[in-house]
Amino acid sequence: MAIRKLLLPLTGTVAGEAALATALLVARLWNAHITALHVRVDSRDVAPLAGEGLSGAMIEEMMTATEQESAARCHAVRAMFQRFVAEHGVVVQEARHGAGGVTASFAAVTGREEDVVAQQARLADLTIVAHPEAGEDASSSDALHAALFESGRPVLMAPPATPARIGRRIALAWNGSAVSASAVGSALPWLQQAGSVRVLSAAEYQRRGPGAPELLDYLALHGVQVELATFRPVERDVGAGLLQAVRDFGADLLCMGAYSQPRLRQLILGGVTRHVLEKADLPVLMNR
């Protein structure tokens, strides 16, 4: 399946610009449209959080401050988007109907970020999520998890810095799970045009299901020739071992299933997905 529509939730400007640059790389690769989305905080959501003991005037003041801050952030993100597309010669227009060339549009919507992103991602071929701003935790990103768990569509986590290229050397993490199989399905268009693909597996990573050699046979039916490699945990950390194997291969894209273990367990105890989200310095294509 060709990739024609990219959804790019933008909450800030620092990581947002790197995510825009990553989205532009992907859009040029697939001749796609970028829908940049900024979700404004609804000031009415502040009232239930205010708690008891606050007067109506105090709550009103909090709502006004929230609205002003939301408007300022939206203005900054929109200005960053306009500056970026102008500098890179991207045509700004609504999603096209089969027209050629990379295009982009910007939308600001008021609501709860996780709800808006999840709903709009359902009609996007790929959602590209900005790497968190400094001091924030990638594994707690509302936009990321809304798209992963509620859209049914693949998600690409942009790296902190703009990559030089994407999709030429692909590392494909495989553990035989259902989410791993879902990731392979979403990655097929990428795999079919990649210059080199390496499937990475490990005994400590494997779940009940088909092994890596069986995946090789399946991909061959789709015209994808791959090489197999196993990796070992680094200091008993499977995620660290996976990323080391990705670096050894010189990959410019990692494709993997997300949260084959329950998300809460991974957030509390750690896991491969959480480690990759927090430590990866390349684009990561994930699916559930």
In this structure, the answer to whether residues 207 and 182 fall within a common structural domain is yes
In angstroms and rounded to an integer, the radius of gyration of the C-alpha atoms of the chain is 20
Boundary-marking domain end, from 157, 182, 216: 157
Lookup result for tokens 């990731």: 183
Boundary-marking domain end, from 105, 124, 157: 157
Query: What is the pLDDT tens value at each position of the chain, 288 positions in all?
Result: 689 999 999 987 778 899 999 999 999 999 999 999 999 987 666 655 555 566 667 767 777 777 888 899 999 999 999 999 999 999 999 876 655 789 999 999 999 999 999 999 999 999 999 987 545 555 557 888 899 999 999 999 999 899 999 999 999 999 999 999 999 999 999 999 999 999 999 999 999 999 999 999 999 999 999 999 999 999 999 999 999 999 999 999 999 998 866 555 445 445 898 889 889 999 999 998
In this structure, the answer to whether residues 40 and 108 fall within a common structural domain is yes
Q: Which residues contact 118 (CB under 8 A, 6 or more apart)?
A: 146, 147, 149, 150, 151
**pLDDT at residue 229, rounded to an integer:** 98
In this structure, the answer to whether residues 125 and 72 fall within a common structural domain is yes
Boundary-marking domain end, from 134, 157, 180: 157
In this structure, the answer to whether residues 110 and 189 fall within a common structural domain is no
In this structure, the answer to whether residues 137 and 213 fall within a common structural domain is no
Q: Would you say 245 and 275 are in contact if contact means Cβ atoms under 8 Å apart?
A: no
Summarize the chain as % helix, strand, coil (round to 5).
Answer: 45, 20, 35
Q: Would you say 202 and 232 are in contact if contact means Cβ atoms under 8 Å apart?
A: yes
Which CATH number fits the domain that encloses residue 221?
3.40.50.620
**pLDDT at residue 248, rounded to an integer:** 98
In this structure, the answer to whether residues 181 and 118 fall within a common structural domain is no
Q: Which long-range contacts (CB under 8 A, 24 or more apart) does 70-74 make?
A: 70/40, 70/41, 70/43, 70/110, 71/40, 73/11, 73/12, 73/38, 73/40, 74/38, 74/40, 74/108
Task: Quote the domain boundaries for residue 79.
Answer: 5-157
Of 83, 116, 90, give the one whose Cα is nearest residue 104. Answer: 90
164 falls within a domain: no
| Beta-strand pair 155-157/284-287 | antiparallel
**pLDDT at residue 266, rounded to an integer:** 46
pLDDT in tens, 259-279: 866 555 445 445 898 889 889
**pLDDT at residue 134, rounded to an integer:** 47
Q: Which residues contact 283 (CB under 8 A, 6 or more apart)?
A: 22, 156, 157, 158, 159, 163, 166, 252, 253, 254
**pLDDT at residue 261, rounded to an integer:** 60
Q: Count the alpha carbons within 13 Å of 8 in the hemisphere toward its beta carbon.
A: 32
In this structure, the answer to whether residues 258 and 147 fall within a common structural domain is no
Q: Would you say 4 and 95 are in contact if contact means Cβ atoms under 8 Å apart?
A: no
218 falls within a domain: yes
**pLDDT at residue 98, rounded to an integer:** 57
In this structure, the answer to whether residues 216 and 143 fall within a common structural domain is no
pLDDT in tens, 250-260: 999 999 998 86
Integer CA distances (angstroms), 262 to 238, 239, 257, in order: 16, 16, 13
What are the two backbone dihedrals, phi and then psi, of residue 67, each rounded to the nearest 5 degrees?
-65, -40
In this structure, the answer to whether residues 123 and 24 fall within a common structural domain is yes
Cα 138 from Cα 145, distance rounded (Å): 10
- Per the structure, the count of domains in the chain is 2
197: β partners: 170
